[in-house]
Structure 1
């Protein structure tokens, strides 16, 4: 991670990065977890360290509020369970039962289920499914046959594989094995009052909207697609996208999208589009709206996986303390988008 990415994670108080680094505040002489609930310090006073030991070598002491130098028994159990699930998926077993994980950690199954979901944002079974799907994606992207891919990922048979991954891989398995051949994306870089904006679309709808990016970044997002400059056929669609950015209004909801993600990501993106213009939500409020109040970190991950800025309005998500939090394209753009929407 870059220091800018660490800073954005600390502003968002994102628990997913606890343990990945600590935030050193040299004006106070303390260091904290990224998720520390204390008021955010000034950026000029902050340095980032890989571990508590590194921060202490620099003369800092641990924060008494978030205890970054210690690991709770619950955190240790969840980390042990994550390691066990990953090991099981890696050898094609497809994960461990809730009872087996409970035995491993010493908790009752129902209590452990709540603990794991509160910490990770997903149930142990959903976490294992996500790992298996990722393994299938990687195998198919390397040209492995569909049969070999589902066998290696631990699916019991083709019927179970297709039932579990229907609509979740973004492309049909056969398209993955062909490297996404035949998928055509039309793109253009447009000048806006927020800077240059990349817009890309398939014949079904907009698949990418990003600020400060161009063809090279689009190719990294969609490495197996055929990229072609947008022609006259996409002029009206792209004009609608530009208007949605420059003059926000209810009409943007009618712009067609062509996005693919996991079932959970799709639910988060749909909920983002339900946030009324001029209003904001915290990650926790979004998770609660989805009926999963403990999944705020998973909501944050889905928010970050959004390729279509503005039209899927991830800029309407702010930190729980009311500050802006982070934004992939910079806080100035986020602040201006919210101002234009009347927030």
Structure 2
């Protein structure tokens, strides 16, 4: 049996209040009789008069009553779906191209003007096509260097015109020098320690600078393989005694979460990734933020996809609490260690914030 719709449960005055305050995510639509259009409650159009406002459960109901979809808020999501398809096609075309396609070529391919295409691409990726192409080449460069290829060869394979471009922008592209990326941890020692935690096995890895990896909820072999993939050339050794305090801090955090784990960290990523990871640490336990909110907090409201990728590549789960980021509708989106664990972490944090202290 389906749940009763919101319109059946609350008064029209309550619905009107959501329209007046432009609430996003509300489960109804409103129409303006004098304009002949219907909208989402969060529509940025000028507010209608209350006497001219009607409420509907769905676009189908509104259209049956003779109203057409608003072009500003796109209540049926049709324009948004078209834009997503255009951006998805352009992104695939950029990725498959040896050279960075010009804006004119991309716009012509999309069937839109240069200005309209650029705006669509920025709105959906948070980047210009040029910046998106640079991000792809940076990823290829990092992968090539991690495989041990010479810097000059990796630069050429990734599609950069010269080494000077890479060295001028190492912080943005790699978060480290090309030589360090190529070495993949060569010459470094990573100490590791396993432990049992409420979600199964836990692996902590640390360099001389600080914790560089925290993984959990997988078999020992899988956790170690993940660490080796990130540092393929490093000397990895077990050192339970040296990491006893660090492992204890992680276990304490699981029992009673805080805003962030107070541990020295060795985080390696681009300048943008570093900013996102630092911002994640400001989210209080028991609270969540959407990817869009996190992007705004990190100083780039349009970079929602880039923020999501930064969360997905977070090497120190728990210490950098990416489990506190959710979808725009509040839904639990993908999590490296499994959505059920993400839900359990959030529920545990909320329970502790509310007062009782159940175990995870």
Q: Please give the TM-score of this superposition, normalised by the length of structure 1.
A: 0.70
Match in the other structure for 2:303: 295
Match in the other structure for 1:192: 197
Describe the superposition over 1:108-133 as per-residue Cα deviations: whole angstroms up to 9, x where unpaired. 33332220122234321221011111
Distance 1:173 1:294, change over 3 A: closer
Distance 1:78 1:163, change over 3 A: same
Where in structure 1 are there 5+ consecutive unaligned residues? 1-36, 40-63
Aligned partners of 1:217 and 1:110: how far apart in 2?
46
Contact 1:241 1:255 in 2 (8 A): no
Superposed displacement of residue 73, structure 1: 4.5
Q: 266-275 or 296-305: which moved more? A: 296-305
User: Which of 112, 116, 129 is the equivalent residue of 2:134?
Assistant: 129
Match in the other structure for 2:12: none
Describe the superposition over 1:171-192 as per-residue Cα deviations: whole angstroms up to 9, x where unpaired. 5322444453212221111122
Aligned partners of 2:187 and 2:172: how far apart in 1?
18
Aligned partners of 1:167 and 1:294: how far apart in 2?
18
Match in the other structure for 2:41: none
Q: Which runs of 4+ in 1 moved over 6 A?
A: 64-68
Match in the other structure for 1:219: 225
Aligned partners of 1:175 and 1:289: how far apart in 2?
30
Query: Which structure is richer in relative contact order (CA contacts within 8 A, separation 6 or more)?
Result: 1
Contact 1:133 1:165 in 2 (8 A): no
Superposed displacement of residue 168, structure 1: 4.0
Q: Secondary structure at the match of 1:248?
A: coil
Superposed displacement of residue 76, structure 1: 4.3
Q: 96-105 or 306-315: which moved more? A: 96-105
Aligned partners of 2:158 and 2:353: how far apart in 1?
48
Structure 2 residue 261 is matched with structure 1 residue 242 = no
Q: 310-319 or 76-85: which moved more? A: 76-85
Aligned partners of 1:327 and 1:201: how far apart in 2?
23
Match in the other structure for 1:108: 113
Q: Secondary structure at the match of 2:243?
A: helix
Aligned partners of 2:248 and 2:197: how far apart in 1?
11
Match in the other structure for 1:17: none
In the comparison of the two structures, how many residue pairs are matched? 278
Aligned partners of 1:73 and 1:249: how far apart in 2?
42
